[in-house]
Amino acid sequence: MTENEISYQIIGASIELHKTLGPGLLESVYEEALALELEERGLRVQNQLAVPMNYKSLTFDKGFRLDLLVEDKVIIEVKSVEQLAPVHYAQLLTYLRLADKKLGLLINFNSKILKSDIHRIVNGL
């Protein structure tokens, strides 16, 4: 399955979830519910995945944590904020670069219409 096919499934599951739960809940609720929704669609999901990283001579066993990694290809950064800030986009791009992934989705569930708050971030294209 390609990154685009996976992202299509993620977006569909996110919209379904948002229609059911609506805005205003904690990020952790949306993260767990989205993982369940994706697994029910037959996708392999890892949540709160610790990713090791190196900086010069230092090695960090847990350099950062990914909210969700789907099919070992697409990173999902889940937010539930009033408005996304530029740092949220930069954070996901950094995660993509350090994890050597091509595609990430930044999803802000605290939105009246979710479709307008799903953002595709690409690394190296």
Paired strand residues for 68: 47, 76
Average pLDDT of the chain is 96
Q: How far is CA 96 from CA 7, 17, 36, 66, 79, in A?
A: 15, 24, 23, 10, 17
Please tell me the total count of domains within the chain: 1
Lowest mean pLDDT among 26-30, 54-58, 115-119: 54-58
Neighbours of 38 (CB within 10 A): 24
Q: What's the domain range around 44?
A: 3-122
What's the pLDDT tens digit per position in 40-74?
999 999 999 999 988 999 999 888 999 999 999 99
**Residue 14, pLDDT score:** 98
- Residue 67, classed as helix, strand or coil, is strand
Predicted TM-score (pTM) of this structure:
0.94
